[in-house]
Amino acid sequence: MKNLSTIDKLKNIAYPLATFIGIIIIWEITVVKFSVPSYILPSPKDIYLEFVNDWQVLAMHSKVTLKETVIGLFMSVIISLLIGMIMDFVPFIKKCFHPIMYVTQMIPTITIAPLLVIWFGFGIKSKVICVILTCFFPMLINFIDGMDSIDRDLLNLFKIMKSNRLKTFVHLKFPMAMDKFFTGLKISSTYAFIAATVAEWLGGSAGLGVYMVRAKSSYALDKVFACTLLVVLFSLLFVGLISIFKKILIKWR
């Protein structure tokens, strides 16, 4: 059975990898065969050469975007947990603000980011706030849903044991809601880089978004694709790290 499980895991890795490599090969052959100009569609080779030739510039801009994303995501975790805890302890606040939070998430990031740049300037503050506004909601909703989905028998058991609200939250609700919270965190980690990049598009001096705008203006699409690929790789890295941290933190699952 262990061998079958190992084979299945290898297949889960091998099949997507083979598909990705196949797409890259078809892309390269198509661009070369039909002589597609690089300002319309760069080949994978052009994108690779961009990484090789301009890796120092890409690394500098990546550090800025990573800093904005990490700070914003970390603060989103703290804010979502605090708000979730307050809503659990004070149901009246949950009834008042829970529907409003859904409405706020219907506003596109592209419309919020310019206002943040105007209000908080072109520095890191506006980008971090944009990341927070984009990321805290999936974590908060999953955290609340996790607490609401706890078996009523367990809650009644804690009541019988005369556990107060704080002890029930610490020993039952918080641990039981962590599984869904980490699901929201994975979703937010992918949104975080998008939010930071969009905020950089609309105003900034450094970052992958700024570099993409400059490259787009000069029709250097190989640079644009290189930045896009970096955003994807960073997002995958964050999702992987969160999955590892989840397994370590909630072993009891």
- Condensed to tens digits (0 to 9), the pLDDT of residues 96-116 reads 877 777 777 777 777 777 788
Tens of pLDDT, residue by residue over 61-109, are 999 999 999 999 999 999 999 999 998 888 888 888 777 777 777 777 7
d(CA 191, CA 184): 11
Mean pLDDT of 21-38: 88
d(CA 94, CA 185): 21
Q: What does the pLDDT read at residue 26?
A: 93
Q: What does the pLDDT read at residue 38?
A: 80
The residue to which tokens 């990031």 are assigned = 109
- The structure's pTM equals 0.85
d(CA 171, CA 98): 24
d(CA 165, CA 89): 7
CA angle 27, 7, 19 (to 5 degrees): 10
